[in-house]
Amino acid sequence: MGEANAAPEPLQAICYERGSLRLLDQRKLPLESIYLDIKDSKDGWDAIREMVVRGAPAIAIAAALSLAIEVHNHEFKGTPAEAADFIVKKLEFLVSSRPTAVNLSDAATKLGDLVRKTSETTSEVETVFKAYIEAAEAMLENDVADNKAIGSHGSIFLRKKSEGLKKLCVLTHCNTGSLATAGYGTALGVIRALHAGGYLDKAFCTETRPFNQGSRLTAYELVHDKIPATLVADSAVAALMKSGTVNAVVVGADRIAANGDTANKIGTYSLALCAKHHGVQFYVAAPLTSIDLALSSGQQIVIEERSPKELLNSEGGLGKQVAASGISVWNPAFDVTPASLITAIITEKGVITKTADDAFDIKSFVESTS
């Protein structure tokens, strides 16, 4: 048994109480902790597009809550059906903020269905709005519990797979922690759970260029939680794995297709190739809301391309020019890691492992656990 480590005060990217939403401006981290007031869905859309808030689960929750604020403050004159239409249109608008993560469109579909159904059974607009607000608030509450379950399943599974090792060295990419979720995190939640149980030797986090979610946000969370950790350049990963120091890689997901192909932060695919070459286990940790059974493979996933400025200027585009004027830029925000490179997918309902024919049967797993 490892020695347990006490958990510190959690970081909060999303501060909400009914009628008030504040988002931690993640563009300013790690140097400044500034919260921005979000008054309506337009503010929510801007905050997501401009990366004030990012990370697939946090995007979905922040979007839903921004509309909850608008609905809470809205004097609506119309029928319940018109109130449901109003909400559905706003949700469609919010979904257009960032295309790759499925969590937001999944939430929009579920919330839209809920308000439509509610509007058919009531004559009060207030009832429709209340149903929406309560469902958006439940997303915030449930996410932390789901992440803790992911952490627990992941910690148990990784230890089982690394028999003989008392403590593990785990590499992660991008930011999948408290800042990318309502709290605790997915892949970083697995690292937190390993550390809390005394089973983590060390975490490695990549810089995650060009927006530096790893060096700015994950490093910040690891230092905040006093988790032993080392920051590496993205380009150091192959050498690090060759040194034999890394026992497992755990990353998050923005969208997992039915066959297990996984879209995640750009550079994840390179990590998975490196892991395969060096015989290192490669795990995806994500809630079931990151699974898109409508897509048979990762080829159908829309990959967001972001501004060339993120490469041309320092600080992920916010600082001074660092690249030669006139150079053209390709800046995909995500890539797709094929299922063949993924050892297992860790969810809040358990770990999805491969079948005898070396494939994931995600549909059966989802059906059997819901």
Query: Among residues 244 and 332, whose Cβ is nearest to ligand MRU?
Result: 332
For ligand MRU, which residue of 333, 342, 344, 346 counts as binding (CB under 6 A)?
333
Q: Give the residue nearest to ligand MRU (CB).
A: 252
**Coil vs helix vs strand at 225:** coil
Catalytic positions, written as ranges: 254
Segment interacting with ligand MRU (CB under 6 A) among 7-15, 116-124, 236-244, 249-257: 249-257
Q: Considering the rule CB under 6 A, would residue 215 count as an interface residue with ligand MRU?
A: no
The secondary structure element, H or E, covering residue 201 is strand 200-206
Query: Among residues 97 and 118, whose Cβ is nearest to ligand MRU?
Result: 97
Going by their DSSP bridges, the two strands 200-206 and 168-172 should be labelled as: parallel
Query: Among residues 133 and 227, whose Cβ is nearest to ligand MRU?
Result: 227
The whole-angstrom separation of Cα 274 and Cα 32 is 35
Residues that contact ligand MRU, how many (by CB under 6 A): 17
Counting every residue, how long is the chain?
Answer: 370
Place of tokens 């490196």: 274
Chain positions 93 to 132 lying near ligand MRU, rule: CB under 6 A, are 101
Q: Considering the rule CB under 6 A, would residue 291 count as an interface residue with ligand MRU?
A: no
Chain positions 127 to 186 lying near ligand MRU, rule: CB under 6 A, are 174, 176, 180-181, 186
Report the candidate in 32, 28, 27 with the shortest Cα–Cα distance to residue 48.
Answer: 27
For ligand MRU, which residue of 43, 143, 254, 292 counts as binding (CB under 6 A)?
254
The token pair that represents 277 in the structure block: 């070459």
Going by their DSSP bridges, the two strands 20-24 and 35-38 should be labelled as: antiparallel
The whole-angstrom separation of Cα 191 and Cα 196 is 9
Do 262 and 299 touch, CB atoms closer than 8 A?
A: no
Q: Considering the rule CB under 6 A, would residue 252 count as an interface residue with ligand MRU?
A: yes
The token pair that represents 290 in the structure block: 């990151």
**Contact mark string toward ligand MRU, 31..70, x via CB under 6 A:** -----------------------xxxx-------------
Sheet holding 35-38, edge to edge: 14-17, 20-24, 35-38
For ligand MRU, which residue of 213, 259, 289, 347 counts as binding (CB under 6 A)?
213
Q: Which residues bind ligand MRU (CB under 6 A)?
A: 54-57, 101, 174, 176, 180-181, 186, 213, 252-254, 264-265, 333
